[in-house]
Amino acid sequence: MRRLTTVGLALLLVIPLTGCAKAAQTVAEKAAENAIEQQSGGNADVDISNDGGTVQVQTDQGSATFGGEIPDSIDVDLPSGGNVVSSIEADSGASVMVEYPDVNFDDIVATLQSWVDAQPDDYTAFTSSGGGIQNQAWGSDTTAISVQTCTTTSGGQGVCVSVQQSNN
């Protein structure tokens, strides 16, 4: 443990001195890869975008992109104007979290309700509110959609939409 701490401290001291963001990015990618590989027992590849806006993780079990785009396999017609907070795509399915700053909860719910109503699958709806939070959710055998009021990543109030779809 002491050796690991010493190595970690040395890296923390050396990386800023190099003045090279690419070196720090590479070290962060390798550290994440090693941690994932130790936990999963498989191979991992981590890529951090140059602007730090996205992180892509590829493992033997699938891939995940954080802060990226809505996966192509998500077929829910999400309203435009949102910011993708995270997205994950794997062989078994995909999920995405989108935040909508300064948007009316009821407008987002109405848009998604129209999409749900047009689907051939049977969806179960769930509505709740309390403590200043509103929530609307729909679920089918392959799709789960949740809409709730939230604090956005910028600290303001907004609406967050989460979608999970399986490939089954």
Do residues 25 and 91 both lie within one domain? no
Q: What is the model's pTM? A: 0.69
Are 168 and 92 part of one and the same domain?
Answer: yes
* Domain coverage including residue 28: 1-60
| Cα separation, 137 vs 123, whole angstroms | 10
137 and 81 housed in the same domain: yes
Angle in degrees, CA 15, 20, 26, rounded to 5: 70
- The per-residue pLDDT for range 109-129, each reduced to its tens digit, is 999 999 999 999 999 999 999
Residues 6 and 50 both lie in one domain: yes
Question: Over the stretch 27-43, which tens digit does the pLDDT of each residue have?
Answer: 878 887 888 788 888 88
Provide the domain count of the chain. Answer: 2
- Residue 136 and residue 105 in one domain: yes
Choose one of 39, 60, 81: the last residue of a domain. Answer: 60
Mean pLDDT of all residues in 19-30: 70
Quick one: 45 exposed, middle or buried, by C-beta within 10 A (0-12, 13-18, 19+)? Answer: middle
Residue 1 sits in the same domain as residue 50: yes
Co-location of 97 and 45 in the same domain: no
pLDDT at position 2 is 34
Domain boundary among 9, 35, 60: 60
115 vs 101: CA distance, rounded Å: 21
Same structural domain, 133 and 151? yes
Same domain, 50 and 75: no
Whether residues 156 and 81 share a domain: the answer is: yes
Kindly state whether residues 44 and 79 are assigned to the same domain.
no
Measured CA to CA in angstroms, residue 136 lies from 77, 124, 162 at distances of 16, 11, 11
Tokens 């435009």 belong to: 80
